[in-house]
Structure 1
Amino acid sequence: MEIAGLVLAAGAGRRFGMPKALVPWRGRPLVVRAAATSRAAGLARTVVVVGAAAGRVRAAAPDLDYVENPAWQTGMASSLRAGLAALAGTPAAAVVVLLADMPGVTPAAVRRVTALASPTALVTGGYAGRRGHPVLLGRDHWEGVAGSATGDRGARDYLRTHAGEVRVVPVGDVADDLDLDVPGDMRALDLPGDVPEAVTGHA
Protein backbone atom coordinates (compact mmCIF):
# COMPACT_ATOMS: atom_id res chain seq x y z
CA MET A 1 0.00 0.00 0.00
CA GLU A 2 1.41 3.36 -1.05
CA ILE A 3 1.38 6.24 1.43
CA ALA A 4 2.27 9.75 0.30
CA GLY A 5 3.57 12.76 2.17
CA LEU A 6 2.06 16.22 1.73
CA VAL A 7 4.07 19.20 2.99
CA LEU A 8 2.13 22.46 3.32
CA ALA A 9 4.59 25.32 2.84
CA ALA A 10 2.65 28.10 1.12
CA GLY A 11 2.27 30.72 3.85
CA ALA A 12 3.88 34.16 3.87
CA GLY A 13 4.93 33.95 7.53
CA ARG A 14 3.95 37.55 8.25
CA ARG A 15 4.35 37.22 12.02
CA PHE A 16 7.68 35.49 11.54
CA GLY A 17 8.90 38.15 9.13
CA MET A 18 9.56 35.79 6.20
CA PRO A 19 8.05 32.68 4.60
CA LYS A 20 8.58 29.95 7.17
CA ALA A 21 9.39 27.43 4.44
CA LEU A 22 12.64 29.37 3.97
CA VAL A 23 13.56 29.77 7.64
CA PRO A 24 17.00 28.19 8.12
CA TRP A 25 17.44 25.48 10.71
CA ARG A 26 20.83 23.79 11.10
CA GLY A 27 21.91 24.94 7.69
CA ARG A 28 18.85 24.11 5.61
CA PRO A 29 15.37 25.57 5.08
CA LEU A 30 12.46 24.19 7.07
CA VAL A 31 10.77 23.03 3.86
CA VAL A 32 13.73 20.73 3.24
CA ARG A 33 13.53 19.37 6.76
CA ALA A 34 9.84 18.57 6.33
CA ALA A 35 10.45 16.78 3.03
CA ALA A 36 13.36 14.89 4.58
CA THR A 37 11.11 13.82 7.45
CA SER A 38 8.63 12.39 4.96
CA ARG A 39 11.30 10.49 3.06
CA ALA A 40 13.02 9.22 6.20
CA ALA A 41 9.68 7.82 7.36
CA GLY A 42 9.53 5.74 4.17
CA LEU A 43 6.68 7.52 2.41
CA ALA A 44 6.46 6.64 -1.27
CA ARG A 45 6.36 10.18 -2.62
CA THR A 46 6.32 13.68 -1.17
CA VAL A 47 4.48 16.66 -2.63
CA VAL A 48 5.24 20.17 -1.38
CA VAL A 49 2.59 22.88 -1.77
CA VAL A 50 4.03 26.38 -2.20
CA GLY A 51 2.46 29.80 -2.62
CA ALA A 52 4.09 32.88 -1.09
CA ALA A 53 7.64 33.27 -2.42
CA ALA A 54 7.15 30.12 -4.49
CA GLY A 55 10.07 30.97 -6.75
CA ARG A 56 12.42 31.46 -3.82
CA VAL A 57 11.35 28.20 -2.22
CA ARG A 58 11.87 26.30 -5.47
CA ALA A 59 15.30 27.89 -5.88
CA ALA A 60 16.30 26.98 -2.33
CA ALA A 61 15.26 23.33 -2.77
CA PRO A 62 15.02 22.64 -6.51
CA ASP A 63 14.84 18.85 -6.26
CA LEU A 64 11.51 18.63 -4.44
CA ASP A 65 8.18 17.81 -6.09
CA TYR A 66 6.13 21.03 -6.01
CA VAL A 67 2.52 22.03 -6.50
CA GLU A 68 1.73 25.73 -6.58
CA ASN A 69 -1.32 27.13 -4.79
CA PRO A 70 -2.33 30.41 -6.43
CA ALA A 71 -4.94 30.95 -3.70
CA TRP A 72 -2.48 30.61 -0.82
CA GLN A 73 -3.63 33.92 0.71
CA THR A 74 -7.00 32.36 1.54
CA GLY A 75 -5.37 30.06 4.09
CA MET A 76 -4.14 26.54 4.67
CA ALA A 77 -7.32 24.92 3.41
CA SER A 78 -6.60 25.91 -0.19
CA SER A 79 -3.12 24.38 0.07
CA LEU A 80 -4.56 21.17 1.46
CA ARG A 81 -7.03 21.02 -1.44
CA ALA A 82 -4.24 21.68 -3.96
CA GLY A 83 -2.11 18.91 -2.50
CA LEU A 84 -4.90 16.36 -2.37
CA ALA A 85 -5.85 17.19 -5.96
CA ALA A 86 -2.24 16.63 -7.05
CA LEU A 87 -2.19 13.23 -5.34
CA ALA A 88 -5.57 12.13 -6.69
CA GLY A 89 -3.94 10.74 -9.82
CA THR A 90 -1.42 8.64 -7.89
CA PRO A 91 -1.83 5.16 -6.39
CA ALA A 92 -1.56 6.56 -2.85
CA ALA A 93 -4.07 4.96 -0.47
CA ALA A 94 -3.40 7.53 2.25
CA VAL A 95 -1.49 10.75 2.81
CA VAL A 96 0.40 12.12 5.80
CA VAL A 97 0.05 15.89 6.11
CA LEU A 98 3.12 17.72 7.42
CA LEU A 99 3.48 21.44 8.05
CA ALA A 100 6.77 23.12 7.18
CA ASP A 101 6.56 25.22 10.34
CA MET A 102 6.38 22.19 12.66
CA PRO A 103 9.97 20.90 12.45
CA GLY A 104 9.60 18.94 15.68
CA VAL A 105 7.44 16.33 13.93
CA THR A 106 9.83 13.44 13.32
CA PRO A 107 10.07 10.39 11.07
CA ALA A 108 9.39 8.24 14.14
CA ALA A 109 6.08 10.03 14.68
CA VAL A 110 5.16 9.63 11.02
CA ARG A 111 5.94 5.91 11.14
CA ARG A 112 3.62 5.49 14.12
CA VAL A 113 0.62 7.01 12.35
CA THR A 114 1.34 5.18 9.09
CA ALA A 115 1.26 1.87 10.95
CA LEU A 116 -2.53 2.33 10.99
CA ALA A 117 -2.84 3.48 7.38
CA SER A 118 -5.64 2.33 5.09
CA PRO A 119 -7.91 4.04 2.55
CA THR A 120 -10.54 4.46 5.29
CA ALA A 121 -8.21 5.58 8.09
CA LEU A 122 -8.12 8.87 9.97
CA VAL A 123 -5.12 9.01 12.30
CA THR A 124 -3.50 11.82 14.28
CA GLY A 125 -0.53 12.09 16.56
CA GLY A 126 -1.34 12.42 20.24
CA TYR A 127 0.36 14.63 22.83
CA ALA A 128 -0.75 13.97 26.43
CA GLY A 129 -4.35 13.53 25.34
CA ARG A 130 -4.30 16.32 22.77
CA ARG A 131 -4.60 15.57 19.05
CA GLY A 132 -1.88 17.00 16.84
CA HIS A 133 0.45 16.35 13.94
CA PRO A 134 1.24 14.33 11.95
CA VAL A 135 -2.20 13.68 10.47
CA LEU A 136 -2.96 10.75 8.17
CA LEU A 137 -5.94 10.92 5.83
CA GLY A 138 -7.11 7.76 4.08
CA ARG A 139 -7.99 8.24 0.44
CA ASP A 140 -11.69 7.63 1.05
CA HIS A 141 -11.75 10.87 3.06
CA TRP A 142 -9.91 13.17 0.64
CA GLU A 143 -13.02 14.45 -1.11
CA GLY A 144 -14.75 15.16 2.18
CA VAL A 145 -11.70 16.90 3.62
CA ALA A 146 -11.29 19.06 0.52
CA GLY A 147 -14.95 19.98 0.54
CA SER A 148 -15.08 20.99 4.20
CA ALA A 149 -11.71 22.70 4.66
CA THR A 150 -11.90 26.47 5.11
CA GLY A 151 -9.44 29.23 5.93
CA ASP A 152 -6.57 28.12 8.13
CA ARG A 153 -8.47 25.24 9.71
CA GLY A 154 -7.22 22.60 7.32
CA ALA A 155 -8.79 19.22 8.08
CA ARG A 156 -9.82 20.11 11.65
CA ASP A 157 -13.54 20.49 10.96
CA TYR A 158 -13.68 17.21 9.07
CA LEU A 159 -11.81 15.40 11.84
CA ARG A 160 -14.18 16.87 14.42
CA THR A 161 -17.23 15.78 12.42
CA HIS A 162 -15.76 12.28 12.11
CA ALA A 163 -14.34 12.13 15.63
CA GLY A 164 -15.59 8.60 16.17
CA GLU A 165 -13.42 7.36 13.30
CA VAL A 166 -10.22 9.14 14.33
CA ARG A 167 -7.49 7.05 15.93
CA VAL A 168 -4.98 8.92 18.06
CA VAL A 169 -1.46 7.50 18.33
CA PRO A 170 0.77 8.79 21.16
CA VAL A 171 3.87 10.46 19.69
CA GLY A 172 4.82 12.97 22.37
CA ASP A 173 7.84 10.91 23.39
CA VAL A 174 9.36 11.16 19.89
CA ALA A 175 8.01 14.45 18.50
CA ASP A 176 6.92 18.02 19.24
CA ASP A 177 4.24 19.75 17.17
CA LEU A 178 5.15 23.27 18.24
CA ASP A 179 4.05 25.67 15.50
CA LEU A 180 6.71 28.29 14.76
CA ASP A 181 4.81 31.58 14.66
CA VAL A 182 7.58 34.03 15.61
CA PRO A 183 11.40 33.73 15.63
CA GLY A 184 11.46 33.30 19.41
CA ASP A 185 9.57 30.02 19.10
CA MET A 186 12.68 28.38 17.67
CA ARG A 187 14.40 28.61 21.03
CA ALA A 188 11.80 26.26 22.49
CA LEU A 189 12.64 23.49 20.04
CA ASP A 190 14.70 20.52 21.13
CA LEU A 191 14.73 18.53 17.93
CA PRO A 192 15.94 14.94 17.73
CA GLY A 193 18.68 14.20 15.26
CA ASP A 194 16.97 11.44 13.29
CA VAL A 195 16.24 13.44 10.13
CA PRO A 196 18.73 13.11 7.26
CA GLU A 197 20.80 16.20 6.58
CA ALA A 198 19.85 16.29 2.90
CA VAL A 199 17.01 15.29 0.65
CA THR A 200 16.93 15.13 -3.11
CA GLY A 201 14.18 14.24 -5.54
CA HIS A 202 11.22 12.05 -4.67
CA ALA A 203 10.40 8.38 -4.80
Structure 2
Amino acid sequence: MNRKTTKLGLSLDRTAAQPYYRQIYGRILGAIASGVLKPGDRIPSARALTQELGLARGTIEAAYSLLAERFEQISHAFAGSSPGITQSLVSDFMEEGYFARHIQRMRKLYAERREATAAGLEGVLGKYLHIDPQPGGMHLVLRLRGRRSDRGVVARMREDGLHGEALTDWMAGGSRPSAVLLNFTNVESQRTAEKLALRILARLHP
Protein backbone atom coordinates (compact mmCIF):
# COMPACT_ATOMS: atom_id res chain seq x y z
CA MET A 1 0.00 0.00 0.00
CA ASN A 2 1.37 3.42 -0.98
CA ARG A 3 1.24 6.02 1.72
CA LYS A 4 1.73 9.74 1.27
CA THR A 5 4.52 11.56 3.04
CA THR A 6 3.11 14.49 4.96
CA LYS A 7 5.05 17.76 4.78
CA LEU A 8 4.82 18.90 8.36
CA GLY A 9 5.82 22.51 7.90
CA LEU A 10 7.58 22.53 11.26
CA SER A 11 8.54 25.90 12.66
CA LEU A 12 11.25 26.05 15.28
CA ASP A 13 11.98 28.77 17.80
CA ARG A 14 15.61 29.62 17.07
CA THR A 15 15.89 31.73 20.24
CA ALA A 16 14.45 29.17 22.69
CA ALA A 17 16.60 27.42 25.28
CA GLN A 18 14.94 24.12 24.38
CA PRO A 19 17.17 22.09 22.01
CA TYR A 20 16.02 21.72 18.41
CA TYR A 21 15.63 17.95 18.67
CA ARG A 22 13.22 18.42 21.61
CA GLN A 23 11.25 21.00 19.65
CA ILE A 24 10.97 18.64 16.67
CA TYR A 25 9.88 15.81 18.95
CA GLY A 26 7.16 17.99 20.47
CA ARG A 27 5.99 19.34 17.11
CA ILE A 28 5.58 15.85 15.65
CA LEU A 29 3.65 14.63 18.69
CA GLY A 30 1.50 17.74 18.31
CA ALA A 31 0.88 16.92 14.65
CA ILE A 32 -0.35 13.48 15.68
CA ALA A 33 -2.59 14.87 18.42
CA SER A 34 -4.07 17.56 16.14
CA GLY A 35 -4.74 15.17 13.26
CA VAL A 36 -2.22 16.70 10.85
CA LEU A 37 -0.64 13.25 10.78
CA LYS A 38 -3.34 10.69 10.12
CA PRO A 39 -3.33 6.87 10.06
CA GLY A 40 -1.56 5.78 6.88
CA ASP A 41 0.59 8.93 6.60
CA ARG A 42 4.37 8.73 6.42
CA ILE A 43 6.58 11.10 8.32
CA PRO A 44 9.42 12.74 6.41
CA SER A 45 12.75 10.91 6.33
CA ALA A 46 15.63 12.33 8.35
CA ARG A 47 17.26 13.47 5.10
CA ALA A 48 14.12 15.31 3.96
CA LEU A 49 13.62 17.00 7.32
CA THR A 50 17.31 17.91 7.47
CA GLN A 51 16.95 19.75 4.17
CA GLU A 52 13.63 21.33 5.15
CA LEU A 53 14.88 22.71 8.47
CA GLY A 54 18.55 23.27 7.62
CA LEU A 55 19.74 21.31 10.65
CA ALA A 56 22.33 18.58 11.14
CA ARG A 57 21.03 15.09 10.45
CA GLY A 58 22.11 13.99 13.93
CA THR A 59 19.65 16.52 15.41
CA ILE A 60 16.77 15.00 13.42
CA GLU A 61 17.79 11.47 14.36
CA ALA A 62 17.93 12.44 18.05
CA ALA A 63 14.31 13.64 17.77
CA TYR A 64 13.29 10.46 15.96
CA SER A 65 15.00 8.37 18.62
CA LEU A 66 12.85 10.06 21.29
CA LEU A 67 9.78 9.34 19.18
CA ALA A 68 10.78 5.69 18.90
CA GLU A 69 10.96 5.47 22.70
CA ARG A 70 7.57 7.17 23.00
CA PHE A 71 5.95 4.83 20.48
CA GLU A 72 7.42 1.86 22.33
CA GLN A 73 5.88 3.13 25.59
CA ILE A 74 2.51 3.57 23.88
CA SER A 75 2.64 0.05 22.46
CA HIS A 76 3.31 -1.37 25.94
CA ALA A 77 0.52 0.75 27.43
CA PHE A 78 -1.97 -0.63 24.93
CA ALA A 79 -0.76 -4.20 25.69
CA GLY A 80 -0.21 -5.21 22.09
CA SER A 81 -2.95 -3.06 20.55
CA SER A 82 -2.14 0.51 19.57
CA PRO A 83 -3.84 3.18 17.42
CA GLY A 84 -3.42 3.04 13.65
CA ILE A 85 -1.37 6.24 13.52
CA THR A 86 1.10 4.79 16.01
CA GLN A 87 1.36 1.57 14.02
CA SER A 88 1.99 3.53 10.81
CA LEU A 89 4.72 5.64 12.36
CA VAL A 90 6.42 2.67 13.98
CA SER A 91 6.38 0.98 10.57
CA ASP A 92 8.11 4.02 9.08
CA PHE A 93 10.72 4.00 11.83
CA MET A 94 11.46 0.37 11.12
CA GLU A 95 11.69 0.89 7.35
CA GLU A 96 14.01 3.89 7.73
CA GLY A 97 16.25 2.06 10.22
CA TYR A 98 15.65 4.44 13.14
CA PHE A 99 14.07 1.76 15.31
CA ALA A 100 16.99 -0.63 14.75
CA ARG A 101 19.45 2.10 15.77
CA HIS A 102 17.30 2.85 18.82
CA ILE A 103 17.37 -0.84 19.82
CA GLN A 104 21.16 -1.00 19.34
CA ARG A 105 21.63 2.10 21.47
CA MET A 106 19.42 0.73 24.24
CA ARG A 107 21.18 -2.64 24.20
CA LYS A 108 24.52 -0.91 24.65
CA LEU A 109 23.11 1.24 27.46
CA TYR A 110 21.58 -1.75 29.25
CA ALA A 111 24.80 -3.75 28.92
CA GLU A 112 26.73 -0.92 30.57
CA ARG A 113 24.15 -0.58 33.36
CA ARG A 114 24.01 -4.36 33.86
CA GLU A 115 27.76 -4.49 34.38
CA ALA A 116 27.81 -1.44 36.67
CA THR A 117 24.90 -2.71 38.75
CA ALA A 118 26.39 -6.19 39.18
CA ALA A 119 29.75 -4.70 40.22
CA GLY A 120 28.16 -2.30 42.71
CA LEU A 121 25.89 -4.92 44.28
CA GLU A 122 28.61 -7.56 44.55
CA GLY A 123 31.02 -5.08 46.12
CA VAL A 124 28.60 -4.50 49.01
CA LEU A 125 26.55 -7.70 49.13
CA GLY A 126 28.99 -10.35 47.89
CA LYS A 127 29.02 -12.08 51.28
CA TYR A 128 25.25 -12.46 51.25
CA LEU A 129 24.38 -13.30 47.65
CA HIS A 130 25.61 -14.40 44.23
CA ILE A 131 24.60 -12.66 41.01
CA ASP A 132 23.93 -14.90 38.02
CA PRO A 133 25.75 -13.72 34.86
CA GLN A 134 23.20 -12.41 32.37
CA PRO A 135 23.94 -12.07 28.62
CA GLY A 136 20.97 -9.74 28.09
CA GLY A 137 17.66 -8.56 29.46
CA MET A 138 16.81 -5.87 32.00
CA HIS A 139 16.99 -7.85 35.26
CA LEU A 140 19.57 -9.46 37.51
CA VAL A 141 19.02 -12.64 39.52
CA LEU A 142 20.35 -12.29 43.08
CA ARG A 143 20.87 -15.77 44.60
CA LEU A 144 20.62 -15.44 48.36
CA ARG A 145 23.18 -17.33 50.44
CA GLY A 146 22.27 -19.20 53.60
CA ARG A 147 18.67 -19.76 54.62
CA ARG A 148 17.28 -16.34 53.78
CA SER A 149 13.75 -16.21 52.41
CA ASP A 150 13.48 -14.29 49.14
CA ARG A 151 9.85 -13.53 49.96
CA GLY A 152 10.86 -12.04 53.28
CA VAL A 153 13.64 -9.97 51.72
CA VAL A 154 11.33 -8.67 48.97
CA ALA A 155 8.65 -7.77 51.52
CA ARG A 156 11.16 -5.77 53.56
CA MET A 157 12.56 -4.12 50.43
CA ARG A 158 9.09 -2.91 49.52
CA GLU A 159 8.78 -1.30 52.93
CA ASP A 160 11.74 0.87 51.86
CA GLY A 161 10.24 1.65 48.44
CA LEU A 162 12.39 -0.90 46.58
CA HIS A 163 10.88 -3.32 44.08
CA GLY A 164 11.95 -6.88 43.46
CA GLU A 165 10.34 -10.23 42.70
CA ALA A 166 10.80 -13.37 44.77
CA LEU A 167 11.65 -16.20 42.36
CA THR A 168 9.99 -18.77 44.61
CA ASP A 169 6.67 -17.11 43.76
CA TRP A 170 7.21 -18.23 40.16
CA MET A 171 8.33 -21.81 40.84
CA ALA A 172 6.31 -24.95 41.45
CA GLY A 173 7.34 -28.04 43.42
CA GLY A 174 10.77 -29.47 44.04
CA SER A 175 13.74 -27.57 45.35
CA ARG A 176 13.15 -23.84 45.09
CA PRO A 177 16.33 -21.78 45.50
CA SER A 178 15.88 -18.44 47.22
CA ALA A 179 16.56 -15.58 44.80
CA VAL A 180 15.42 -12.03 44.01
CA LEU A 181 14.76 -10.70 40.50
CA LEU A 182 15.89 -7.06 40.33
CA ASN A 183 15.46 -4.55 37.51
CA PHE A 184 18.57 -2.43 36.84
CA THR A 185 17.49 -0.12 33.99
CA ASN A 186 17.28 2.98 36.22
CA VAL A 187 20.69 2.36 37.85
CA GLU A 188 22.95 4.86 36.12
CA SER A 189 26.34 4.01 37.60
CA GLN A 190 28.26 1.68 39.89
CA ARG A 191 28.08 4.32 42.62
CA THR A 192 24.28 4.36 42.33
CA ALA A 193 24.30 0.55 42.52
CA GLU A 194 26.39 0.68 45.69
CA LYS A 195 23.85 3.01 47.31
CA LEU A 196 21.08 0.62 46.25
CA ALA A 197 23.06 -2.29 47.71
CA LEU A 198 23.31 -0.55 51.10
CA ARG A 199 19.53 -0.14 51.16
CA ILE A 200 19.08 -3.81 50.30
CA LEU A 201 21.65 -4.80 52.94
CA ALA A 202 19.55 -3.05 55.58
CA ARG A 203 16.59 -5.23 54.52
CA LEU A 204 18.33 -8.61 54.34
CA HIS A 205 17.72 -9.37 58.00
CA PRO A 206 14.29 -9.47 59.69
More strand by share: 1
Query: Higher RCO, 1 or 2 (CA under 8 Å, sep at least 6)?
Result: 1
| Bigger Rg, which one | 2
Q: How does the TM-score come out when normalised to structure 2?
A: 0.26
Q: How does the TM-score come out when normalised to structure 1?
A: 0.26
